[in-house]
Structure 1
Amino acid sequence: MLVQRLGAPSDFDPLLERVRDARIVMIGEATHGNYDYYRLREQLTRRLIAECGFSFVAVEGDWPDCDRVHRSVTAAPGGAADPRVALERFERWPTWMWANAEVARFCSWLRAWNVERPEGARAGFHGLDVYSLWESMQAIFDYLGEEDPGSLEAAQDAYRCFEPYGKRVEEYGMASRFVSARCEEEVVRLLARTREQAAADGPDSFSAWQNAEVVAGAERYYRAMVRGGPESWNIRDTHMADTLDRLLERYGPGGRGVVWAHNTHVGDARATDMAADGMVNVGQLARERHGADEVVLVGFGGYRGTVLAAPRWGSPAEAMVVPPARPGSVEHRLHELMPERAVLVFGGDDQPGWVTGTADHRAIGVVYDPSFESWGNYVPTRLGERYDAFVWCDETTTLHPLPALTTPGEMETYPAGV
């Protein structure tokens, strides 16, 4: 194991040596609401793009919202000249995950980097998530209306199937428990038509195909969500892993991707108690599909500080105090052993027992109650198996949200808010 104190972006050199030949680098976060995690992730990602030639960033966000950001950062026709404008259009709660000053700063840098390069060499920004059923349906209508009017019937059939349930598509999932209110046939037909059209190539056709994949994934997700248990989680993470694979294929044989998501999605589920509950995640699926040598998983963690989170699902975010990590946890041990900020690169035969053994590892979602620290908010983890590297911040501060509009989100995700 190698430990490097962090003070400047150049201090990531040992980690860059580890990822230089990888095709996928996943960079996590222990919470969606810390400035320090986002800032350090931005610094690392800039170097991966500028020095290692990574092709795109794929985030735990909705495809249509992120596609507006993509058009802005790649200076595509119709894209906003300022990526901040695209980020402020994020409406799905919790908007602060991506509509924040830290992501805006990265996207402004990415646009400046891209405009100096040919169109085919520009780094993209994409969403991996499954929630945007209605937004994706509208994007499909817009695309087919211009490019393939003959396929509009398939889109209209799918729309009519969901329409009785309105924007509260979880009601579709509830109805499907008691009657045959299934839209699978219509969704499969729509997916087939858009996949066929995507064969014509071009970014717009690929985006339409991905929106159809979102509709198909959302249909499965909402049916599973109301039943409870891990199935909806697995559908969501499998959808994100499938989207990542489509992006890698889209960018060509030399395509390389950076993923931004919560530690719970990034760190290999097999090294946690998630596996015993029958759960998989994006990090695990990427290692299984592409091989451990092609995938580098980077986790984050901190000892104490403040975080931007909500006290309950759908409520406004607020700055909350994160108390010191509980004794015996990964974070408590790192507080005792590490400098204020450091990057740990795992590997070799000299790994200590706290890296190879099991210890509680803190995970804070968009919903947070500090009073749960005594018994919740932790995932039993074998750190050196869950991640290839780990970024440590002893004390963290809150994220800086943009003034985005907010509309109600879906029912609470499983597990809560990650």
Structure 2
Amino acid sequence: MSIDHAPYLSTLSRRGLFGLAAAAAGTTLLRGPQATAAGTAVGTEDAFADWLDRHATPVRTSPRGPLDDLTPLRRTVRDAVVVGLGESAHGTHTQFALKHRVARYLVEELGFRTIAWEESWGSGVVLDRYVRGDGTDARSAVGQALFMLRSQAMLDLVRWMREFNRGRPDWDQVRFLGADVLELRALQYDEIERFTAAVAPARLPRVRALLGVLALRGTPQEHLVWYKYRLTEDERRPLVAAARELHELVRDAAESRAARRGRAAVDPDDAVLHAYALLGFYESGSAAGIADDVRDRYVADLLTFWHERTGHRIAYGAANAHVAAAEEMVVEFPPDPPVRRRLAGGLLRARYGAGYVAVGTVFDHGTVLTGWEVDGGPRVYAVPPPSPSFADALLGRARLGDYLIDLRRGGPTEVRDRLDGPASLRIMSSAYDPARDEHYAQHLPSWRAGFDALLHVRTVAATQLV
């Protein structure tokens, strides 16, 4: 199976794909990375490097093999309900494989039973059904994922999940959750209609009419471009209203006596979440939705609903910006200006307190697959060591290359002051210009406001597409 790098990719922007760019006036901005540079914190770099050498623990990056190197995570995670697993670039095989390894540890050693990802809800359902043993081929299931996740690393993850589940009772199986609303899938439409026909046939004509209004225009990717780039805000508004009405109808049907009697061919909870994620796509794609960080509110809601539904502890893999626990941060993706955002990790910290733990992943140098916005599709870029303005540069001074450091550990005054001071981390999305490397940034009010722990990788290799 190969990916069709269709022309629509050049239409997508950081704003469309990741919702991390300014979209409305009135946002409060910081200056560039120098405003929060690691080098401006109190204390010396030597003291910080010494602290890293005394407290960092080595990690292996392959998802296979014994997990004893991750034992220190037990103290970091403790009784967390959700653990965010970040990455500083979506296009590296190495960071994904390390997150797979951490997810293995959380599942096998700490009893986590859901692995959520920065993946759309509908395609997540396909992956979940695969890992629970349906007849789908792994490549077919991964082929429905977001285009950047159709990779060897994702294949390795879901194949491991399926093997882990083999022979286990339903209640003890690990589940896959697509915890995002980036795209829609036909499965959502089909199962909403089937569910309504089974439990609320009187409402079926109206549900079908709404589904018709909201129908996919071409592939999920073509539909995304159509909605976000070809419609005016006035044209989007009735679609948001239709999606909201549809969600209300499905939610009411799920609470009906017929649904409670178990007559539905589709699980009522699935039907409600199909409709909720559909509403999330339309709301987050509107101008108001982008300005209000609505997409990340839906991410936090999907994770919360899933925990309430299953009781599972959840490992949530996404970009460092989405995972960071800070109430607010500033993100910067050239050529767009920096903008203040409130993203999923901050919402989860507000909901769960210490029950949400954020673990970021950073790297020093290597190769990254990105450039999805360029005609002809992505390519591999060589990424240099980080600018001194980035906290990543200071983390790279440790004796170890690949390691875990708990940022909550004690240290001398200059180290504590630094960790409680501002930090900028390098972060890459769907486009990259090496000449502007120091401006691809996530600016945090403090290291420890953003992350409880960090994983550092010295050298990364690019994502391997399948």
TM bucket by the smaller chain?
Answer: 0.7 to 0.9
In the alignment, which of 14, 37, 44 is matched to residue 102 of structure 2?
44
In the alignment, which of 279, 284, 299 is matched to residue 360 of structure 2?
299
Q: 1:324 to 1:118 in 2, by over 3 A?
A: same
1:3 maps to what in 2? 56
- The normalised TM-score by structure 2 is 0.76
8 A Cα contact 2:329 2:341, kept in partner: no
Greater alpha carbon shift after TM alignment, 208-217 vs 5-14: 5-14
1:280 maps to what in 2? 342
- How well do the aligned residues superpose, as a CA RMSD in angstroms? 2.7
Structure 2 unmatched runs, 5+:
1-50, 61-65, 333-337
Matched, 1:190 2:246: yes
Q: 1:168 to 1:271 in 2, by over 3 A?
A: closer
State the SS of the aligned residue for 2:80.
Answer: coil
In the alignment, which of 86, 108, 123 is matched to residue 141 of structure 2?
86
State the SS of the aligned residue for 1:183.
Answer: helix
In the alignment, which of 306, 321, 327 is matched to residue 264 of structure 1?
321
- The normalised TM-score by structure 1 is 0.84
Q: 1:399 to 1:366 in 2, by over 3 A?
A: same
Aligned-pair CA distance for 1:270 = 3.2
> What are the superposed Cα offsets for residues 310-348 of structure 1, whole Å, 9 maximum, x if unpaired?
252574222111111112311111112241100011214
Structure 1 unmatched runs, 5+:
403-418
8 A Cα contact 2:181 2:299, kept in partner: yes
Letter matched to residue 207 of structure 2: A
Letter matched to residue 386 of structure 1: G
Letter matched to residue 86 of structure 1: A
Aligned-pair CA distance for 1:134 = 5.5
> What are the superposed Cα offsets for residues 321-378 of structure 1, whole Å, 9 maximum, x if unpaired?
111111231111111224110001121442614433223210011222222214x212
Q: 1:28 to 1:314 in 2, by over 3 A?
A: farther
8 A Cα contact 2:280 2:295, kept in partner: yes
Q: 1:338 to 1:298 in 2, by over 3 A?
A: farther
8 A Cα contact 2:131 2:175, kept in partner: yes
State the SS of the aligned residue for 1:61.
Answer: strand
Q: How does 1:26-45 map to 2 (within 5 A)?
A: 26-45=84-103
2:450 maps to what in 1? 386
Matched, 1:213 2:264: no
> What are the superposed Cα offsets for residues 127-166 of structure 1, whole Å, 9 maximum, x if unpaired?
1111334633344235445565444323323233345977
Letter matched to residue 355 of structure 1: L
Q: 1:63 to 1:181 in 2, by over 3 A?
A: closer
Give the Cα separation in 1 of the matches to 2:166 and 2:370.
35
1:360 maps to what in 2? 424
1:249 maps to what in 2? 308
2:212 maps to what in 1? 160
Q: 1:34 to 1:175 in 2, by over 3 A?
A: closer
Q: 1:297 to 1:314 in 2, by over 3 A?
A: farther
8 A Cα contact 1:311 1:368, kept in partner: no
2:459 maps to what in 1? 395
State the SS of the aligned residue for 2:285.
Answer: helix
In the alignment, which of 84, 107, 117 is matched to residue 168 of structure 2?
117
Letter matched to residue 188 of structure 1: R
Give the Cα separation in 2 of the matches to 1:31 and 1:274.
14
Identity, in percent, stands at 23
Letter matched to residue 205 of structure 2: E
Aligned residues: 387
Q: 1:139 to 1:348 in 2, by over 3 A?
A: same
1:21 maps to what in 2? 79
State the SS of the aligned residue for 2:455.
Answer: strand
Aligned-pair CA distance for 1:104 = 1.2
State the SS of the aligned residue for 2:233.
Answer: coil
